[in-house]
Amino acid sequence: MLSAKRKYSEVDSDDEEPTLGKQVLPVANLPADFSGVPQDGLEYLFMVRRDARQLPRTTRVVNPYEFKEEAPVNDAALLSTPHSALPSEDWREVFVSRFRNFRKNIVQSTAHSDVAPRPPAHKLTPDMKERDHWWAFLSGRPESEWNPPKKPKKQKPARDQRYGSFGGMRSFTSEYEVPLQDPVPELPYTTEEGEVEHAISFAPADSLPTPLSTPAPSEAGPSNGMFADPVSPTHNTAPAVQPEPTPTLLRHMDHRYSLHLLMYFSHWITLYLEEPAAGPCTITETHARWMFALLSRVEDYLTADEMSTLRSLARACMGLIKDRLGRRPSPDAGVEDAGSATIAETSCWLIVAAVVGLWGQRDLWQDAESMLAELGP
């Protein structure tokens, strides 16, 4: 009777030396240093088994992270040189470092003041949501334009005034019925016979019948959402002086207020780029200083919408750079005043570098390089 247990010699062991398997086919008996050409299958199998014994028993894969791969050299990047108008890397680093210090000084000067800012006796700036008034203020217009007196609200007529009574019955009177106006003052004039008579003064706006709730049309008003220049034939007005972003004004502007004004600047720059020659608004160096100062009031951490506002501002300034490079001023042109001069390329680069460096929008530099590449060297 055969034993059910396997013999010890038949038990597999991992320590045993691996073999090439059982020899099934006959193999030629040749010397170990045989190097001739096999004449038949027996000699060929001998050489195959001999070469197989010389191979390593184990192999390992080379670790791909063991050695650092050298970055491929881009020949086009070496040959291409940055545009001469593009700021250098060294300039960007120095500017961002100094702008950070400037922001700290601005914050400390307002946060650690001993005396809290008192509300001004009169209005210093327009309200935040009055875009047209802000443009008039930044253009140096008189206060009567950017801070006009508020019109009193018209009160609706009482119920008993709209409904009269006649014989115990209510008589309906429409609220849109034109009320009787006061008699117009008469102006004297002389006829051919020398007799002085009176003529009724005529006002076009007063003659139009309007409902009670609709104001009469004004004879002159702003067009295209911008204020028109007042023209007075009787006296010469002094040149407008644009206000500067002083610490007193910046103290009343927080993060939200500053972003709102920067959004206005993006809108005004877009209007200027649509019609640079005869546009409704011209961006000056004073406006550049305002944008620079307002960026110092913006916080470090922004939402997606707030970041989009800053990116729009940077792209608008890049559009100004492209416009300035596309049409160089002639050397015979006169020297403009420092405040009323149109914005320079350097000022635009300051705004772009501040947005890129402070809020990590480095892809805007690539957009700037592409824009300058279109203009050529």
CB atoms inside a 10 Å sphere around CB 289: 17
Domain count, the chain: 1
Pick the range with the lowest mean pLDDT from 58-67, 103-112, 155-164.
155-164
φ and ψ at residue 174, rounded to 5 degrees = -70, 140
Please report, for the domain that includes residue 358, its CATH number: 1.20.58.1070
What's residue 32's pLDDT? 83
Structural domain boundaries enclosing 323: 244-328+336-377
Query: 164 in a domain, yes or no?
Result: no
Q: Is the pLDDT of residue 148 over 80?
A: yes
Rounded Cα distance between 103 and 105, Å, is: 5
Cα dihedral 334, 226, 316, 110 sign = positive
Query: 202 in a domain, yes or no?
Result: no
Give the three-class secondary structure for 323. Answer: helix
Chain-centroid distance of CA 259 in Å reads: 10
Query: 150 in a domain, yes or no?
Result: no
Query: 288 in a domain, yes or no?
Result: yes
Query: 340 in a domain, yes or no?
Result: yes
Query: 62 in a domain, yes or no?
Result: no
Q: CA nearest 361: which of 370, 353, 369, 351? A: 353
Query: 24 in a domain, yes or no?
Result: no
45-73 confidence digits (pLDDT tens): 899 888 888 888 888 888 888 777 776 66
Query: 368 in a domain, yes or no?
Result: yes
DSSP state of 8: G
Q: CA nearest 239: which of 343, 142, 334? A: 142
Percent of the chain with pLDDT strictly greater than 90:
33
CB 242 within 8 A of CB 286: yes
For residue 71, give both structure tokens. 């970055």
321-360 confidence digits (pLDDT tens): 999 887 765 444 445 555 568 899 999 999 999 999 999 9
